Amino acid sequence: MGKRLTYLNSWFIIIAFAIAVNVAFAKGVNAQKTDTSYLKLLRSKPKQSLFKNNLHLALPPLKPAVISTTKINIPRADDKLLTNVQVFPNPVTDQINVKYNVARNAFVNVKIMDVLGNDVVTLFSQRVENGDQSLSYNINNKLTRGFYFVRIIVGTESINKRISVL
């Protein structure tokens, strides 16, 4: 007896759900001009359109046959923010020089790290303008002999260069 009622209840729920879905889709369909009962229903309940006056920005009017001369520069996914990274001389004895190019204004970090990835020295950390950048740093008595990495971080991009200190 219990299984039969559960079976009937499940069919009742499925039929009720199908009717509710049909009613929901019927309210979203544009009425035909001959369907006067549906038009009376729409006229009796004025509703606010979903898209009317909800834009937060004013769009310029469209004029046919007018060509815009405005150039929009949208960065692509394959555009690099950091390019032309050079670290010289290698091996380093007393002074290290770093040159790089930044495509647009960004925050730049230049660090020297040991082989284990620990930060040893931060050479540079500030916002720079776009274009070629250069940096010189005197390493006398600041780094022991061995291998290090120079990490340049610009935005979400980073480049590591290996150097050896004599």
- 3-state DSSP call for residue 46? coil
Residue 131 lies in a domain: yes
Rounded to an integer, the average pLDDT of 127-149 is 90
Identify the DSSP state of 152: E
Kindly provide the residue ranges of all beta strands, DSSP E only, lying in the chain, ordered along the sequence: 82-88, 95-102, 106-113, 119-128, 131-138, 146-154, 157-165
What pLDDT shows up at residue 9?
83
Domain that holds residue 130: 82-165
CA atoms in the 13 A half-sphere facing the CB of 115: 6
Rounded to an integer, the average pLDDT of 11-29 is 78
Residue 130 lies in a domain: yes
Measured in degrees and rounded to the nearest 5, phi and psi for residue 44 equal: -75, -25
Closest CA to 88 of 137, 124, 122: 137
Spell out a b/e string for 2-18, using b for 16 or more CB atoms within 10 Å of the CB, else e.
eeeeeeeeeeeeeeeee
What pLDDT shows up at residue 27?
62
CA dist 143 and 150 (Å) reads 13
Residue 155 lies in a domain: yes
Residue 25 lies in a domain: no
Residue 45 lies in a domain: no
Stronger pLDDT, 140 or 109, i.e. the higher one: 109
> In the structure, what pLDDT confidence band is assigned to residue 162 with cuts at 50, 70 and 90?
very high
Residue 11 lies in a domain: no
Residue 13 lies in a domain: no
Instruction: Tell me the CATH number at 147.
Output: 2.60.40.1930
Both tokens of 141, joined, read 């008595």
pTM strictly above 0.75: no
Q: How many CB atoms lie within 10 A of CB 87?
A: 21
pLDDT exceeds cutoff 90 at 152? yes
pLDDT exceeds cutoff 80 at 160? yes
Residue 112 lies in a domain: yes
Q: Total domain count for the chain?
A: 1
